[in-house]
């Protein structure tokens, strides 16, 4: 026992999808330090600077500690009874005047599975609508959509441990050293041990320095790169025909399509030298075992879901899936992006991705919850915002999310929030979104509640309460069950474990999950009734009908936004090592001192042409908005592109992003926006 601390509790990091296990140390009733758990399966004794300082935002003086009710242009403190009465009377008024579908809920990929499950039950059972979505809509919904259609399930096919066994890896549209630092370090170590690493990104990410090849395609041309790799694999005889014949469908149509994506043609589309396309394909195909790792640089595009299907094609045609060292690993952004969708905080599926229109599934939930449930799909997040502006949606309950800062086309988001008759926000701080709330409920951080998160390798891990929420703040589960009870629907949960027991009872992929079995190492779903989990998927067969994977013959199509005379540069957005998402938490820790403001990266040639020097304040204008930001001149960004993050409300980068979105999932095209940049 460390004498400096009164207690130490092992829990799971609330920031990114790596899912590091952390030791939270307390003294005098406060969390005073965090260190990595040596036996954490995803972090093996490591942590990053976000996790290490994560206790600091929890005790920040700006924490919400009492319910607030709007009064004029501001808010006044209220009791829980008063806040609940207001919520119930307004939601009942909207429901009786306009029907349940005039109300929508937004769950959070930062909240636990149990919180998200309770939130979707609140909307479906207590309100009577399937208008429930979560923020994975705006990050990895294309991954889930594509992997389910190509392979059968929504999650990574393997584990982080596969990186240790891979002879080669391709990282496309991800920057793990900044967004998933502990996984980034693992990739770096593997590369230092000899794993051949190929990085593909319009930005020269740090991992490129550890790789054997970096491809820098024009933003929005990932599909052409993937088709080019498949062309070379097929042309040079690397197709695993035995695997393709036994375990897949649709290869002939794909072979016909990829024949036209010669390296020269791909060079014309992407700007990547043909020789580099050839080399990258050979590195991947010649490796005994190889992984493909991707992030939001793949998904947040007009054809993001199609690029994920093309990534699956590459693995399938070479047979590199379903065995140690050969995995498809999407790097989930927030800690519980995987889980929030797995447990059904979605408008079209219950937990386990079973359709709301499926009679048998719907009846199983009705039997458990004792109320009739709608069979109609609800609104996605973009549809909620459009419906609010159009006057169809009258009330929203937003939990742990800040769409006014994180969603695209900020002016449209604000117009939607202002159009609502009634808005409830449940959060730990005031945010850009709470400015438009009628009632704000004070919630708990990940260090103040119990539950589970699911990391990027499908690992369900326990979250343990370390300290109590401050003041009048309550755990999210307590708030959601209380609101539901006040609306007349008793959920009957006494603790988070009760919720997981219900998820397990209703969801085949979670059938064997119990808190006792999760223990210190967690379990990777699907978990069989006897508790057996699945570090690797598809070892024997895929989970699509017939047991075979499906190739997707999808052509390259141009992005939704392209450079023009009026908007000659392409803005790419991303993350910084020191910050997380909207920055609500990291800007209230020591991370702020280490990275105090967003900056705009611009290539020296573009900067010189535009008379911009390092540190200058510049104006960035897109067809939908304008911001001012400090320039940083660097050759890490490709010519013709500029890069920034969206961690700071003072900058509000997403003012610039338009409404172009993934054609299948409505995930916004954050990664390609034509802009004009000039000195202020």
Name the residue among 176, 179, 272 with its Cα closest to residue 222: 272
Radius of gyration of the chain (CA): 24
Give the nearest distance from C-beta 82 to ligand SF4 in angstroms.
37
Specify the stretch interacting with ligand SF4 by CB under 6 A; choose among 144-152, 176-184, 276-284, 592-600.
176-184
Specify the stretch interacting with ligand SF4 by CB under 6 A; choose among 41-49, 373-381, 405-413, 586-594.
41-49
Give the nearest distance from C-beta 183 to ligand SF4 in angstroms.
7
Residue number, 333 or 408, with CB nearest to ligand SF4: 333
Name the residue among 218, 273, 244 with its Cα closest to residue 674: 218
Name the residue among 343, 88, 47 with its Cα closest to residue 183: 47
Residue number, 16 or 404, with CB nearest to ligand SF4: 16
3-state SS, residue 21 = strand
The whole-angstrom distance between residue 654's C-alpha and the CA centroid of its chain comes to: 16
- Asked if 109 touches ligand SF4 (CB under 6 A), the answer is no
- Asked if 571 touches ligand SF4 (CB under 6 A), the answer is no
Instruction: Name the residue number minimizing CB distance to ligand SF4.
Output: 51
User: Please, are residues 556 and 272 in contact by the beta-carbon 8 Å criterion?
Assistant: no
CA separation for the pair 429, 427 (Å, rounded)? 6
Specify the stretch interacting with ligand SF4 by CB under 6 A; choose among 8-16, 23-31, 404-412, 429-437.
8-16
Give the nearest distance from C-beta 11 to ligand SF4 in angstroms.
11
Give the number of other Cβ atoms within 10 Å of residue 39's Cβ: 12
Residue number, 15 or 75, with CB nearest to ligand SF4: 15
Residue number, 125 or 205, with CB nearest to ligand SF4: 205
CA separation for the pair 208, 205 (Å, rounded)? 6
Joined together, the tokens standing for residue 460 give 């369900």
CA separation for the pair 328, 315 (Å, rounded)? 8
Question: Which residues, in sequence order, are CB contacts of 559 under 8 Å at separation 6+?
Answer: 219, 220, 221, 301, 302, 303, 660, 669, 672
- Asked if 481 touches ligand SF4 (CB under 6 A), the answer is no
Backbone angle region of 578, left / alpha / beta, with phi > 0 → left and psi within -120 to 50 → alpha: alpha
List the one residue from 142, 158, 181, 522 that touches ligand SF4 (CB under 6 A).
181
- Asked if 20 touches ligand SF4 (CB under 6 A), the answer is yes
List the one residue from 43, 177, 267, 299 that touches ligand SF4 (CB under 6 A).
43
- Asked if 57 touches ligand SF4 (CB under 6 A), the answer is no
List the one residue from 11, 19, 121, 667 that touches ligand SF4 (CB under 6 A).
19
Give the nearest distance from C-beta 31 to ligand SF4 in angstroms.
15
Residue number, 16 or 174, with CB nearest to ligand SF4: 16
How do 451-454 and 673-679 pair as beta strands?
A: unpaired
Residue number, 333 or 559, with CB nearest to ligand SF4: 333
Give the nearest distance from C-beta 424 to ligand SF4 in angstroms.
29
CA separation for the pair 382, 391 (Å, rounded)? 14
Joined together, the tokens standing for residue 423 give 């808005």
Name the residue among 614, 291, 606 with its Cα closest to residue 456: 291
CA separation for the pair 17, 453 (Å, rounded)? 9
3-state SS, residue 164 = helix
Residue number, 134 or 334, with CB nearest to ligand SF4: 334
Give the nearest distance from C-beta 19 to ligand SF4 in angstroms.
6
Residue number, 51 or 442, with CB nearest to ligand SF4: 51
Residue number, 507 or 581, with CB nearest to ligand SF4: 581
- Asked if 287 touches ligand SF4 (CB under 6 A), the answer is no
Residue number, 47 or 383, with CB nearest to ligand SF4: 47
Residue number, 50 or 137, with CB nearest to ligand SF4: 50
CA dihedral 346, 351, 355, 357 (to 10 degrees): -90
Joined together, the tokens standing for residue 219 give 């933003």
Residue number, 168 or 182, with CB nearest to ligand SF4: 182
- Asked if 583 touches ligand SF4 (CB under 6 A), the answer is no
CA separation for the pair 537, 659 (Å, rounded)? 35
- Asked if 188 touches ligand SF4 (CB under 6 A), the answer is no
**What is the torsional sign of CA 579, 584, 587, 588?**
negative
List the one residue from 50, 188, 588, 671 that touches ligand SF4 (CB under 6 A).
50
List the one residue from 26, 47, 326, 586 that touches ligand SF4 (CB under 6 A).
47
List the one residue from 180, 188, 449, 647 that touches ligand SF4 (CB under 6 A).
180
**What is the torsional sign of CA 432, 384, 401, 618?**
negative
Give the nearest distance from C-beta 8 to ligand SF4 in angstroms.
16
Give the nearest distance from C-beta 181 to ligand SF4 in angstroms.
5
CA separation for the pair 514, 503 (Å, rounded)? 10
Residue number, 257 or 293, with CB nearest to ligand SF4: 293
The whole-angstrom distance between residue 467's C-alpha and the CA centroid of its chain comes to: 27
List the one residue from 24, 37, 48, 395 that touches ligand SF4 (CB under 6 A).
48
Q: Residue count at the site for ligand SF4 (CB under 6 A)? A: 14
- Asked if 461 touches ligand SF4 (CB under 6 A), the answer is no
Specify the stretch interacting with ligand SF4 by CB under 6 A; choose among 48-56, 61-69, 394-402, 609-617.
48-56
CA separation for the pair 503, 112 (Å, rounded)? 13
CA separation for the pair 409, 396 (Å, rounded)? 19
List the one residue from 11, 15, 232, 320 that touches ligand SF4 (CB under 6 A).
15
User: Please, are residues 405 and 433 in contact by the beta-carbon 8 Å criterion?
Assistant: yes
CA angle 142, 296, 313 (to 5 degrees): 55
Give the nearest distance from C-beta 126 to ligand SF4 in angstroms.
33
- Asked if 589 touches ligand SF4 (CB under 6 A), the answer is no
Give the nearest distance from C-beta 526 to ligand SF4 in angstroms.
23
CA separation for the pair 130, 101 (Å, rounded)? 8
- Positions touching ligand SF4 (CB under 6 A) are 13, 15-16, 18-20, 43, 47-48, 50-51, 180-182
């Amino acid at each position: 026992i460390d004498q400096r601390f009164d207690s130490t509790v092992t829990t799971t990091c609330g920031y990114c999808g790596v899912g590091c296990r952390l030791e939270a140390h307390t003294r005098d009733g406060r969390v005073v330090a965090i260190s990595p758990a040596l036996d954490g399966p995803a972090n093996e004794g490591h942590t990053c600077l976000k996790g290490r300082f994560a206790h600091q935002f929890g005790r920040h003086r700006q924490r919400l500690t009492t319910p607030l009710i709007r009064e004029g242009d501001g808010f006044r403190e209220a009791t829980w009874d008063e806040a609940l009465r207001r919520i119930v009377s307004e939601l009942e008024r909207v429901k009786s005047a306009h029907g349940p579908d005039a109300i929508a809920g937004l769950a959070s990929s930062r909240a636990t599975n149990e919180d998200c499950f309770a939130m979707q039950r609140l909307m479906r059972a207590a309100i009577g609508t399937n208008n429930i979505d979560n923020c994975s809509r705006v990050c990895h919904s294309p991954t889930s959509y594509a992997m389910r259609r190509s392979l059968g399930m929504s999650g990574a096919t393997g584990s982080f441990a596969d990186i240790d066994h891979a002879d080669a890896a391709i990282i496309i549209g991800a920057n793990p050293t900044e967004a998933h630092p502990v996984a980034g370090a693992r990739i770096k170590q593997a590369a230092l041990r000899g794993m051949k690493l190929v990085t593909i990104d319009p930005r020269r990410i740090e991992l490129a320095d550890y790789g054997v090849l970096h491809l820098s395609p024009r933003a929005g041309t990932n599909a052409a790169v993937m088709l080019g790799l498949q062309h070379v694999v097929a042309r040079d005889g690397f197709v695993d025909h035995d695997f393709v014949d036994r375990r897949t469908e649709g290869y002939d149509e794909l072979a016909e399509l990829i024949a036209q994506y010669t390296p020269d043609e791909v060079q014309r589309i992407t700007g990547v030298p043909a020789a580099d396309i050839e080399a990258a394909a050979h590195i991947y195909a010649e490796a005994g075992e190889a992984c493909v790792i991707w992030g939001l640089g793949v998904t947040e595009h007009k054809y993001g879901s199609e690029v994920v299907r093309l990534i699956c094609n590459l693995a399938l045609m070479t047979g590199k899936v379903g065995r140690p060292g050969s995995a498809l690993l999407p790097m989930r952004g927030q800690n519980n992006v995987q889980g929030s969708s797995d447990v059904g905080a979605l408008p079209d599926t219950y937990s386990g991705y079973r359709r709301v229109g499926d009679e048998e599934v719907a009846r199983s939930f009705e039997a458990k919850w004792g109320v009739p449930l709608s069979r109609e799909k609800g609104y996605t997040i973009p549809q909620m915002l459009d419906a609010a502006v159009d006057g169809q949606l009258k009330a929203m309950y937003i939990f742990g999310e800040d769409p006014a800062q994180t969603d695209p086309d900020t002016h449209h988001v604000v117009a939607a929030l202002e159009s609502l008759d009634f808005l409830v926000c449940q959060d730990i701080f005031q945010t850009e979104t709470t400015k438009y709330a009628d009632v704000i409920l004070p919630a708990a951080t990940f260090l103040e509640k119990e539950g589970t998160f699911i990391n990027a390798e499908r690992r369900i891990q326990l979250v343990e309460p370390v300290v109590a929420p401050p003041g009048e703040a309550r755990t999210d589960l307590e708030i959601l069950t209380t609101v539901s009870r006040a609306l007349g629907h008793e959920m009957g949960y006494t603790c988070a474990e009760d919720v997981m027991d219900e998820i397990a009872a209703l969801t085949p992929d979670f059938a064997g999950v119990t808190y006792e079995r999760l223990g210190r190492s967690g379990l990777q779903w699907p978990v069989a009734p006897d508790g057996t989990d699945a570090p690797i998927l598809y070892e024997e067969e895929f989970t699509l009908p017939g047991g075979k994977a499906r190739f997707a013959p999808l052509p390259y199509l141009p992005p939704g936004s392209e450079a023009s005379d009026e908007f000659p540069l392409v803005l790419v957005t991303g993350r910084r090592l020191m910050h997380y998402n909207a920055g609500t938490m990291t800007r209230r820790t020591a991370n702020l001192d280490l990275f105090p403001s967003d900056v705009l990266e611009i290539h020296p040639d573009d900067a010189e042409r535009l008379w911009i020097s390092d540190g200058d304040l510049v104006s960035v204008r897109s067809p939908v908005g304008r911001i001012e930001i400090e320039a940083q001149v660097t050759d890490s960004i490709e010519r013709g592109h500029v890069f920034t993050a969206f961690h700071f409300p003072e900058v509000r980068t997403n003012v610039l992003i338009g409404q172009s979105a993934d054609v299948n999932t409505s995930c916004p095209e954050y990664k390609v926006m034509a802009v004009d940049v000039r000195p202020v």
